[in-house]
Structure 1
Amino acid sequence: MERTARAASTPAPEPLPAAEVGALLDGVPRQRGSVAAPKTPRPALRVRPLRVRPWRLLPSPTGTPVTFTYTAILTLTSLFAGYASPGLLHSVYQDSSTDVAHLLRTPVFVLLASALWIAGGLLSPYALAFVLVLTALERRIGGARAILVFLGGHVLATLATEVPVGLAVLAGHLPGTSLHRLDYGISFGVAASIGALSGLLTPWVRWPLLALVGYSLLTDLIAFEDPMTNWGHLISLGIGTALWPLVRRWYRERHQAPVPAGVTAA
């Protein structure tokens, strides 16, 4: 009875203020079922706006030095073609031509020299395509590999069109003058570069690009104004598309990041 009376007479402890309770709980691990302290709201994610940089479409001495240098060379040769006398220009074109006669005598020289001229000059559609396509390709796979793709299409398409001419002359189906036809320019290399670049673009850009270029080349072939050159354009475009596995591997090696087939960064 005495203990009960003492217990009854002991005053109840006063509740701690809420601030002190929170301070004590900060150093104690939370148990299941305990009331969690209010969390500080996280700042909202900031979406980085898409930056449009049109100047990256053009070559630069630091970003795409190979394309920049090649473009400068083509500009100089085009200016020479615009101011040289017709007789001198024809002689230079003839010496740079990848016809059968020159391929038999100086194959390496004419295969390289013929890629220094733009048929139609600086206003040719292939001149603009060269600048845009080779710039984009160099930014993705590097300058040396971009030039390798360009020259691969240029050389292989040239041989694919000129060797049949030589065989046809030997068989008597074409006159001997066909061995000396003028054949020069960058169009085969440009077509191969377009085909290779399309493999590094997103599908909604790749297929319309290939459809537009393929339609244009087929239209030229149907017109039958220069069938050997037109066939060479289609062949070089096919060579470029056949290089998709290789250029995609080069892209992954250059950027050190896995990329889904056909999808790349700009």
Structure 2
Amino acid sequence: MTFGDPGAVHGALEGSSSDASNLARRPVFALVTSGVWVAGGLVSPSILVFLLVLSLLERRVGGWRTAAVFTLGHVLATLLTELPVAASVASGYLPASSLDRLDYGISYGLLASLAALTGLLARWARWSVLGGVGVMLTLDVIELADPLTNWGHVLAVLIGLACWSPLRSRVAPHREANRYPMRSQ
């Protein structure tokens, strides 16, 4: 994204966007390819957060469960935001151009993973992280610069929170033992 030809990058984004139009034509391709783009490219701070959050989650619950949380957050938040757009266009509430609004990036999967990870943290860390994310999302929703994405972010966090119980029951025993080190008597 950073170093490519702007026309080629835009064409690639259009082709891999999970907008309502692409979801209707080729849903699996759109959902898979839209979730690998990083807004701002490889120099984005999102890459560092992505690596940190997914590494920590993977360390606690394993690679498959981490991939499942990321995928669930990306796919469900995308569908929960894009399907109402398609319904609104079909009912005449939104113009047809709304079907082709670019929708791509790792943010839904990343936020779902972060929210899921907080369920495995100590109470003070959990509420500190969720409080910070909550403030950020609230400000984004109030600003309404990109309402569809902003509400998708909120939905992604809720999806991650819904993963708390299943993940807590799946924490590997040796990882759980490391979570609460024994205190000296």
Return the TM-score normalized by structure 1.
0.65
Aligned to 2:97: 177
Asked whether 1:117 is paired with 2:37, we answer yes
Match 2:106 to one of 178, 186, 191: 186
Aligned to 2:68: 148
Q: In 2 relative to 1, CA 204–107 (structure 1 residues): closer, same or farther, beyond 3 Å?
A: same
Equivalents in 1 of 2:132, 2:36: separation in Å?
26
Equivalents in 2 of 1:117, 1:171: separation in Å?
31
- Cα deviation, 1:103-144, whole Å, max 9, x if unaligned, reads 011111110101111012234342222111000000000011
**Percent identity (aligned):** 48
Asked whether 1:128 is paired with 2:48, we answer yes
- Give the Å deviation of 1:264: 3.0
Equivalents in 1 of 2:174, 2:41: separation in Å?
39
Aligned to 2:8: 88
Question: Any stretches of 5+ residues in structure 2 without a counterpart?
Answer: none
Q: Which amino acid aligns with 2:18?
A: T
Return the TM-score normalized by structure 2.
0.93
Aligned to 1:106: 26
Q: In 2 relative to 1, CA 213–99 (structure 1 residues): closer, same or farther, beyond 3 Å?
A: same
Aligned to 1:205: 125
- Give the Å deviation of 1:265: 5.0
Contact 2:20 2:86 in 1 (8 A): yes
Equivalents in 2 of 1:164, 1:107: separation in Å?
15
Q: Which has the higher contact order (CA 8 A, sep 6+)?
A: 2
Match 2:78 to one of 158, 178, 181: 158
Q: Which amino acid aligns with 1:204?
A: W
The higher radius of gyration belongs to: 1
Root-mean-square deviation over aligned CA pairs: 1.7
Q: Which has the higher helix share?
A: 2
Contact 2:60 2:175 in 1 (8 A): no
Moved over 4 A (4+): 256-259
